[in-house]
Structure 1
């Protein structure tokens, strides 16, 4: 059996690593775009850019590894079936249950790795990511570009037409979150000063439009100064404190502070359900690997790729629904139904014949 194990393992590795590198490359491009969006306003060095990128790697690996393993395992068995190598092994006495025993230790190791990623590395990297951005905001170097739309500074959308001698010319500011409601400011020029993340925007020769109920108030000025705090006052907590904060999802939202804590707790609770289900996906889906991969090339048509896409999309769709609407009570039913359903399908369509 050691020869058979090595044979299947070698074929699995030949498919796993190319698929993983493709997914890793595509995910890296997406992460680079996400990190690059931070530099739209905040200037950072090349090393700082890659520092932010590495903080996002655990999340990408967490979602890429289980999908890659499942896809590679199914395609491996499918190719061995189409090349008549699995039918030969079955004719020599190998049973389909042997494949379950072969993939179980690999799935167990992968699920354990995913639990380490989800409950330790991802919360730690996310906190380092937020802490890094908060430190950069405290000493932010403005990177506003002339004639470019959708540039954001705190709660303000900013448009400038020119930049010369440390002053911005023909400036437009818009905010929905000011004390006066919606505010629209136009000015001939502006100057921005950063004092430890407290920004002072001094605009000259313009007009401010204040949007109120069924009316707009206009104020003309020679000089107007607006201050805003773009620091998030982020506090780095331990991993234990991070997961303990999900209890705040059930507190009464009677104050703004409690409302903020409740929303953060609900987010952590959703992550908790998502991480558990995705981490268990390799183990729960072991019966689906031979179900989709094993076939008799003469009598069965290979619908492998369709089954892979459908099962992965269906599982992650269930994870999204459970984590959003039933983050606590939906975990065990999902685990039970997915595992039992997968095994019953395996017994019905594979174990009876192979």
Structure 2
């Protein structure tokens, strides 16, 4: 029995990898196009594009695994049936239930993996992705060009003679604080930094002047920090527990949780449905592996998309139970009684 289990697992692994890699590349391409579209609004280096892609990996794997599992399972069972290998196993005393139990164990592992990705890895990756985008968009709004007059940093006008990435040389900033009141700062060097969700201009080795109709004040500084007061929004990074606790008050988050939960259960829900139509006697039945794969994927993802828009946990459990019992009933009716 150990050898049979290894034989079935080996066949599934080969089929799964053959299917998973192309689907993974296709989904990755979709995400790369999505990431590349950000370059319209913000400047990204190759390293930053790679970083965003790595942060998207949990989502890519999450959307790839269920489809790959269903397709690989259909392909393995259909091929073993077509080559009469399942019939040979039956002749050796190994019935269809024993064969499917081996794949059910694999389905359980896949569902556990999907649950961990959906409810642990994805929230962390999505938050890091959004925080990085927010930071880059904040920096993009302060794309200061050397030698150009009239550029603004918050309430200040800024002029820069030379620039190297986020570092500046020989810069001047000006601000009119009120009627007849003005501020003027000059510095040999400065840097544009991101601090606590706001952009900050750090000036070094310079002079500051405050002018009113009554007096003119001068000050020399070693370091001066100028904050953009208009940017108060800070991206709040939550723990995994806090992230999902929002589902109690946020319907969008709740529906996302339901969607993730149902997608994670797809390997378990699909095993008997797939086996019911792909375990056949090739002498009397036609092989409908491709049609079975398409129909099962379509139905399950249609239900999942419905939960992303509406529904609740009780309804999800009821539908999951119906799908599970339907798969078992079809398996008993179409397969188990014969094999």
Tell me the equivalent position of 1:125: 125
1:130 offset after TM fit, Å? 0.8
Tell me, in whole angstroms, the C-alpha distance in 1 between the residues paired with 2:296 and 2:324: 13
Q: Output the TM-score relative to the length of structure 2.
A: 0.73
Tell me the equivalent position of 1:70: 70
2:108/2:268 contact within 8 Å kept: yes
Structure 1 unaligned residues grouped into runs of 5+: 144-162, 168-190, 201-226, 249-264
| Paired residue secondary structure (1:39) | helix
Tell me the equivalent position of 1:233: 234
Tell me the equivalent position of 1:40: 40
2:55/2:128 contact within 8 Å kept: yes
Change in 2 beyond 3 A, CA 1:97/1:40: same
Structure 1 residue 332 corresponds to structure 2 residue 317:
yes
Tell me the equivalent position of 1:290: 275
2:274/2:296 contact within 8 Å kept: no
1:17 offset after TM fit, Å? 0.3
Change in 2 beyond 3 A, CA 1:43/1:334: same
The correspondence for 1:346, drawn from 306, 331, 335, is 331
Change in 2 beyond 3 A, CA 1:229/1:347: farther
1:12/1:73 contact within 8 Å kept: yes
The correspondence for 1:275, drawn from 260, 268, 281, is 260
1:233 offset after TM fit, Å? 3.1
Tell me the equivalent position of 1:105: 105
Tell me, in whole angstroms, the C-alpha distance in 2 between the residues paired with 1:317 and 1:230: 41
Q: Output the TM-score relative to the length of structure 1.
A: 0.70
1:141 offset after TM fit, Å? 6.2
2:278/2:288 contact within 8 Å kept: no
Structure with max Cα Rg: 2
Structure 2 unaligned residues grouped into runs of 5+: 158-227
1:65 offset after TM fit, Å? 0.8
Deviations 1:286-306 (A, max 9, x none): 212321321111111111111
Deviations 1:135-154 (A, max 9, x none): 112211678xxxxxxxxxxx
Tell me the equivalent position of 1:160: none
TM-align CA RMSD: 2.5
| 1:1-354 equivalences in 2 (<5 Å) | 1-140=1-140, 193=152, 195=154, 233-248=234-249, 265-354=250-339
Change in 2 beyond 3 A, CA 1:121/1:231: farther
> How many residue pairs are counted as aligned between the two chains?
268
1:329 offset after TM fit, Å? 3.2
2:74/2:292 contact within 8 Å kept: no
Deviations 1:6-46 (A, max 9, x none): 21111111211011000011011101100001111100111
1:199 offset after TM fit, Å? 11
Tell me, in whole angstroms, the C-alpha distance in 2 between the residues paired with 1:41 and 1:194: 18
